[in-house]
Structure 1
Amino acid sequence: MRRIDEDEYVEIVPLADYLENCKADLDLADTIEDLQLQDVYINGDRTFGHVLLYYGKPNCYLVIITDYTHLRVYGHHLLDLNEKYGATAAR
């Protein structure tokens, strides 16, 4: 995976409906506007990506896995760097 460059073109995968469901199911934020885009990554053959969204808890991200072949959301993962690596620094 590599970070997508700011001037690099990739197809847009619609996330709004999926994020609304995540927000409600995972109790992440009051509104989807409270989720902050952190980074977007894409794999070598440009078929899958990871969209990292900060949701207000230091060192924790909602990772949306996107399928660029079918332009859909594949799934999600809550990444907690505090738990996984013992990270303690503030965002």
Structure 2
Amino acid sequence: MKSAGLARPGGRDDERVTRSVADILDQHLECVMVAIRRLREDEFKACFAEPMADVTATAQAAMDTWPYVDALALDKIGLPYLNDVRHVYRDARNRFDQVLTGTGRFNTLLVIVVDLDRSMVFGHFLLDLNEEYGTSGGPLRSI
């Protein structure tokens, strides 16, 4: 099997760290192969256990959700762009974190559901607050 030589940081030029091509490919595939799963409303609601706790300021991240977010095709799910994470909520049974990310669509949040036991993304859901709470209209305008 072919191998690639990589210089050890801070080492002498003649010190080489060799890793097999398969190891390098495995590392890159971990970053590329992200299973995208759009949750149905019933699946999303099954991730709730009242009371939901706002853990935005105190939670230790179970995992980095940005590779999952980066793998989403925003145009296919109807979002022009994403903003920062707004809130993180944890269900009362400590099964799921819901990472709420602002979007470029008015009153719509991208919710990434993290399975805490498995430290992996369970899926995502677009939470349209207008639809959920029966409000309509555009953004507030100054008077």
Shorter-chain TM-score category? Answer: 0.7 to 0.9
Change (3 A) 1:9 1:61: closer
- How many residue pairs align between the two structures? 87
Give the CA deviation at 1:5.
5.0
Match of 2:122 in 1: 74
Q: Distance in 1 between matches of 2:135 and 2:102?
A: 15
Task: Give the corresponding residue for 1:4.
Answer: 55
**Does residue 38 of structure 1 match 2:89?**
no
Secondary structure at 1:12's aligned position in 2? coil
Structure 2: gaps of 5 or more residues? 1-51
Structure with the larger strand share? 1
What is the one-letter code of the residue matched to 2:139?
A: A
State TM-score, norm by structure 2: 0.52
Give the partner amino acid of 2:89: Y
Which structure's relative contact order is higher, taking Cα pairs within 8 Å and 6+ residues apart?
A: 1
Larger radius of gyration: 2
Instruction: Describe the shift of the 1:9–1:81 C-alpha distance in structure 2 as closer, same or farther (beyond 3 A).
Output: closer
One-letter amino acid of the structure 2 residue matched with residue 10 of structure 1: Q
Q: How does 1:51-62 map to 2 (within 5 A)?
A: 51-62=99-110
Is residue 77 of structure 2 the alignment partner of residue 26 of structure 1?
A: yes
Identity %: 29
Is 1:15 matched with 2:65? yes
Letter in 2 for 1:14: D
TM (normalized to structure 1)?
0.76
Q: 1:85 to 1:48 in 2, by over 3 A?
A: same
Instruction: Tell me, yes or no, if the aligned pair for 2:56 and 2:87 is still in contact at 8 Å.
Output: no
Distance in 1 of aligned mates of 2:118 and 2:98 = 15
